[in-house]
Amino acid sequence: MIQLDSVTKVYRMGSVDVAALQEVSLSIQRGEMVAIVGPSGSGKSTLMNVLGCLDVPTSGVYTLEGEEVGQLSDDRLAEIRNRKIGFVFQTYNLLPRISAVANVELPLMYGRTPQRRQKALEALERVGLSERAAHRPTELSGGEQQRVGIARALAKSPSILLADEPTGNLDSASSGEILSILLGLNEEGITVIIVTHERDIALETGRIISMLDGRVVSDEPVGSASRNGPTAGRGA
Protein backbone atom coordinates (compact mmCIF):
# COMPACT_ATOMS: atom_id res chain seq x y z
CA MET A 1 0.00 0.00 0.00
CA ILE A 2 3.03 2.25 0.46
CA GLN A 3 5.45 2.41 -2.41
CA LEU A 4 8.55 4.64 -2.57
CA ASP A 5 10.57 4.69 -5.80
CA SER A 6 13.96 6.39 -5.57
CA VAL A 7 12.58 9.19 -3.43
CA THR A 8 15.00 12.05 -2.83
CA LYS A 9 14.41 14.99 -0.54
CA VAL A 10 16.71 17.97 -0.69
CA TYR A 11 16.52 20.82 1.81
CA ARG A 12 18.07 24.14 1.21
CA MET A 13 20.02 25.28 4.27
CA GLY A 14 21.14 28.82 3.54
CA SER A 15 23.13 28.44 0.34
CA VAL A 16 23.86 24.72 0.65
CA ASP A 17 21.60 21.91 -0.50
CA VAL A 18 21.36 19.07 2.00
CA ALA A 19 20.04 15.75 0.78
CA ALA A 20 18.02 14.34 3.67
CA LEU A 21 16.82 11.39 1.60
CA GLN A 22 18.78 9.90 -1.27
CA GLU A 23 17.13 7.55 -3.71
CA VAL A 24 15.08 5.72 -1.11
CA SER A 25 12.97 2.89 -2.46
CA LEU A 26 10.86 0.67 -0.31
CA SER A 27 7.38 -0.73 -0.01
CA ILE A 28 5.25 -1.47 3.00
CA GLN A 29 2.28 -3.82 2.89
CA ARG A 30 -1.06 -3.39 4.57
CA GLY A 31 -1.04 -4.68 8.15
CA GLU A 32 2.72 -4.51 8.58
CA MET A 33 4.36 -3.15 11.69
CA VAL A 34 7.59 -1.43 10.75
CA ALA A 35 10.30 0.32 12.76
CA ILE A 36 12.47 2.96 11.16
CA VAL A 37 15.73 3.29 13.08
CA GLY A 38 18.91 5.28 12.70
CA PRO A 39 20.99 7.94 14.42
CA SER A 40 19.86 11.55 14.38
CA GLY A 41 20.51 13.15 11.02
CA SER A 42 20.07 9.82 9.26
CA GLY A 43 16.95 11.01 7.47
CA LYS A 44 14.43 8.94 9.40
CA SER A 45 12.36 11.97 10.40
CA THR A 46 12.35 13.22 6.82
CA LEU A 47 11.22 9.80 5.66
CA MET A 48 8.48 9.96 8.26
CA ASN A 49 7.38 13.41 7.04
CA VAL A 50 7.25 12.20 3.45
CA LEU A 51 5.34 9.05 4.42
CA GLY A 52 2.95 11.21 6.47
CA CYS A 53 2.32 13.55 3.55
CA LEU A 54 3.59 16.48 5.61
CA ASP A 55 6.22 17.03 2.95
CA VAL A 56 6.60 16.14 -0.71
CA PRO A 57 9.69 14.50 -2.20
CA THR A 58 12.03 16.58 -4.35
CA SER A 59 12.15 13.74 -6.83
CA GLY A 60 10.98 10.17 -7.04
CA VAL A 61 7.51 8.70 -6.72
CA TYR A 62 5.50 8.08 -3.58
CA THR A 63 2.35 6.07 -4.04
CA LEU A 64 -0.06 5.69 -1.15
CA GLU A 65 -2.89 3.22 -1.66
CA GLY A 66 -2.55 3.57 -5.40
CA GLU A 67 -2.62 7.36 -5.26
CA GLU A 68 0.50 9.23 -6.23
CA VAL A 69 1.05 11.89 -3.59
CA GLY A 70 4.28 13.29 -4.95
CA GLN A 71 3.16 16.57 -6.43
CA LEU A 72 -0.13 17.38 -4.76
CA SER A 73 -1.11 20.79 -3.45
CA ASP A 74 -0.95 21.61 0.25
CA ASP A 75 -4.70 21.33 0.59
CA ARG A 76 -4.87 17.96 -1.17
CA LEU A 77 -2.09 16.72 1.13
CA ALA A 78 -4.07 17.97 4.13
CA GLU A 79 -7.04 15.98 2.89
CA ILE A 80 -4.97 12.81 2.53
CA ARG A 81 -3.46 13.27 6.00
CA ASN A 82 -6.95 13.68 7.33
CA ARG A 83 -8.37 10.59 5.60
CA LYS A 84 -5.51 8.11 5.65
CA ILE A 85 -2.92 8.97 8.26
CA GLY A 86 -2.90 9.07 12.02
CA PHE A 87 0.02 10.81 13.70
CA VAL A 88 1.46 10.02 17.11
CA PHE A 89 4.13 12.46 18.26
CA GLN A 90 6.96 12.17 20.75
CA THR A 91 5.75 15.30 22.55
CA TYR A 92 2.08 14.25 22.18
CA ASN A 93 1.18 17.64 20.61
CA LEU A 94 -2.20 17.83 22.27
CA LEU A 95 -3.88 21.22 22.38
CA PRO A 96 -3.63 22.18 26.06
CA ARG A 97 -6.77 24.30 26.37
CA ILE A 98 -9.31 21.74 25.25
CA SER A 99 -10.39 18.46 26.82
CA ALA A 100 -9.00 15.06 25.86
CA VAL A 101 -12.12 14.16 23.90
CA ALA A 102 -12.08 17.50 22.07
CA ASN A 103 -8.48 16.79 21.07
CA VAL A 104 -9.52 13.42 19.71
CA GLU A 105 -12.30 15.14 17.77
CA LEU A 106 -9.88 17.42 15.88
CA PRO A 107 -9.28 15.24 12.80
CA LEU A 108 -13.01 14.43 12.72
CA MET A 109 -13.78 18.15 12.76
CA TYR A 110 -11.47 18.88 9.84
CA GLY A 111 -12.87 15.88 7.97
CA ARG A 112 -16.45 17.01 8.67
CA THR A 113 -17.25 13.57 10.06
CA PRO A 114 -20.69 13.23 11.60
CA GLN A 115 -21.22 11.94 15.17
CA ARG A 116 -17.84 13.23 16.25
CA ARG A 117 -18.30 13.03 19.99
CA GLN A 118 -19.39 9.42 19.85
CA LYS A 119 -16.52 8.37 17.57
CA ALA A 120 -14.02 10.24 19.72
CA LEU A 121 -15.28 8.49 22.85
CA GLU A 122 -15.01 5.13 21.10
CA ALA A 123 -11.42 5.91 20.18
CA LEU A 124 -10.65 6.87 23.79
CA GLU A 125 -12.20 3.59 24.89
CA ARG A 126 -9.88 1.67 22.60
CA VAL A 127 -6.90 3.14 24.45
CA GLY A 128 -8.63 2.60 27.80
CA LEU A 129 -9.09 6.26 28.66
CA SER A 130 -12.87 6.73 28.58
CA GLU A 131 -13.08 7.93 32.15
CA ARG A 132 -10.55 10.72 31.52
CA ALA A 133 -12.34 12.09 28.43
CA ALA A 134 -13.31 15.40 30.02
CA HIS A 135 -9.85 16.11 31.46
CA ARG A 136 -7.50 18.58 29.91
CA PRO A 137 -4.12 17.28 28.74
CA THR A 138 -2.39 19.17 31.57
CA GLU A 139 -4.34 17.09 34.08
CA LEU A 140 -3.11 13.82 32.58
CA SER A 141 0.14 11.91 33.04
CA GLY A 142 2.59 11.52 30.14
CA GLY A 143 1.41 8.00 29.39
CA GLU A 144 -2.23 9.11 29.45
CA GLN A 145 -1.47 12.02 27.16
CA GLN A 146 0.18 9.70 24.69
CA ARG A 147 -2.87 7.44 24.84
CA VAL A 148 -5.02 10.47 23.98
CA GLY A 149 -2.59 11.10 21.13
CA ILE A 150 -3.10 7.55 19.86
CA ALA A 151 -6.88 7.87 20.22
CA ARG A 152 -6.71 11.06 18.15
CA ALA A 153 -4.69 9.24 15.49
CA LEU A 154 -7.23 6.40 15.49
CA ALA A 155 -10.39 8.49 15.45
CA LYS A 156 -10.74 8.67 11.69
CA SER A 157 -9.87 4.99 11.19
CA PRO A 158 -6.72 5.74 9.18
CA SER A 159 -4.92 3.26 6.97
CA ILE A 160 -1.58 4.07 8.55
CA LEU A 161 -0.51 5.02 12.03
CA LEU A 162 2.73 6.97 12.02
CA ALA A 163 4.42 7.18 15.41
CA ASP A 164 7.48 9.39 15.78
CA GLU A 165 9.40 8.32 18.90
CA PRO A 166 6.09 7.58 20.65
CA THR A 167 7.79 6.46 23.87
CA GLY A 168 10.66 8.94 23.79
CA ASN A 169 9.31 11.04 26.64
CA LEU A 170 7.88 8.27 28.77
CA ASP A 171 9.09 6.14 31.69
CA SER A 172 9.49 2.44 31.04
CA ALA A 173 6.12 1.42 32.50
CA SER A 174 4.22 3.90 30.33
CA SER A 175 6.40 2.97 27.34
CA GLY A 176 5.36 -0.63 27.75
CA GLU A 177 1.71 0.35 27.84
CA ILE A 178 1.98 2.48 24.72
CA LEU A 179 3.90 -0.22 22.89
CA SER A 180 1.33 -2.85 23.74
CA ILE A 181 -1.48 -0.55 22.57
CA LEU A 182 0.34 -0.08 19.24
CA LEU A 183 0.94 -3.83 18.94
CA GLY A 184 -2.71 -4.46 19.68
CA LEU A 185 -3.82 -2.02 17.00
CA ASN A 186 -1.49 -3.68 14.51
CA GLU A 187 -3.03 -7.02 15.35
CA GLU A 188 -6.41 -5.48 14.52
CA GLY A 189 -5.01 -4.84 11.05
CA ILE A 190 -3.77 -1.24 11.12
CA THR A 191 -0.45 -0.56 9.44
CA VAL A 192 1.88 0.88 12.07
CA ILE A 193 5.16 2.64 11.34
CA ILE A 194 7.32 3.66 14.30
CA VAL A 195 10.34 5.88 14.13
CA THR A 196 12.56 5.10 17.09
CA HIS A 197 16.15 4.94 18.16
CA GLU A 198 15.42 2.43 20.89
CA ARG A 199 16.58 -0.96 19.71
CA ASP A 200 14.27 -2.96 21.98
CA ILE A 201 11.20 -1.08 20.78
CA ALA A 202 12.24 -1.78 17.21
CA LEU A 203 12.67 -5.47 18.03
CA GLU A 204 9.00 -5.66 19.00
CA THR A 205 7.95 -4.85 15.41
CA GLY A 206 7.91 -7.12 12.41
CA ARG A 207 10.45 -5.31 10.28
CA ILE A 208 13.33 -2.90 10.89
CA ILE A 209 14.41 -0.36 8.30
CA SER A 210 17.78 1.17 9.22
CA MET A 211 18.71 4.56 7.87
CA LEU A 212 22.09 6.26 7.60
CA ASP A 213 22.98 9.47 5.76
CA GLY A 214 19.69 9.58 3.92
CA ARG A 215 19.87 6.03 2.66
CA VAL A 216 18.31 2.74 3.68
CA VAL A 217 21.25 0.64 4.85
CA SER A 218 19.32 -2.42 5.92
CA ASP A 219 15.73 -3.58 5.71
CA GLU A 220 15.08 -6.90 7.38
CA PRO A 221 12.24 -8.75 9.06
CA VAL A 222 12.37 -9.41 12.80
CA GLY A 223 11.88 -13.00 13.87
CA SER A 224 8.37 -13.69 15.07
CA ALA A 225 9.81 -15.31 18.18
CA SER A 226 11.37 -12.03 19.11
CA ARG A 227 8.24 -10.09 18.29
CA ASN A 228 5.97 -11.99 20.58
CA GLY A 229 8.57 -12.67 23.23
CA PRO A 230 9.26 -10.78 26.44
CA THR A 231 10.70 -7.30 26.14
CA ALA A 232 14.19 -8.24 27.09
CA GLY A 233 16.38 -5.54 28.54
CA ARG A 234 13.55 -3.08 29.14
CA GLY A 235 12.60 -4.47 32.49
CA ALA A 236 8.96 -3.88 31.76
**Which residues in this chain contact other proteins in the complex, by CB under 8 A?**
49, 52, 54-55, 74-75, 78-79, 81-83, 87, 89, 93-95, 97-98, 106-107, 109-112, 152
Tell me the closest approach of the beta carbon of residue 22 to other proteins, in angstroms.
Answer: 19
CA distance 22 to 185: 31
Residue 40 burial (CB < 10 Å; 0-12/13-18/19+)?
A: exposed
Kindly tell me which of 109 and 173 has the beta carbon lying closer to other proteins.
Answer: 109
Kindly tell me which of 81 and 126 has the beta carbon lying closer to other proteins.
Answer: 81
Altogether, the residues listed in the chain come to a count of 236
Tell me the closest approach of the beta carbon of residue 21 to other proteins, in angstroms.
Answer: 14
Kindly tell me which of 152 and 207 has the beta carbon lying closer to other proteins.
Answer: 152
Tell me the closest approach of the beta carbon of residue 79 to other proteins, in angstroms.
Answer: 7
SS3 of 11-38: the string is EEECCEEEEEEEEEEEEECCCCEEEEEC
CA distance 204 to 111: 33
Kindly tell me which of 87 and 208 has the beta carbon lying closer to other proteins.
Answer: 87
Tell me the closest approach of the beta carbon of residue 176 to other proteins, in angstroms.
Answer: 26
DSSP secondary structure string for all residues of 82-119: HHHEEEE-TT----TTS-HHHHHHHHHHHTT-SSHHHH
Kindly tell me which of 56 and 222 has the beta carbon lying closer to other proteins.
Answer: 56
Give me the amino acid identity at 196: T
Tell me the closest approach of the beta carbon of residue 14 to other proteins, in angstroms.
Answer: 15
CA distance 205 to 223: 9
Kindly tell me which of 51 and 202 has the beta carbon lying closer to other proteins.
Answer: 51
SS3 at position 144: helix
Tell me the closest approach of the beta carbon of residue 83 to other proteins, in angstroms.
Answer: 7
CA distance 11 to 200: 31
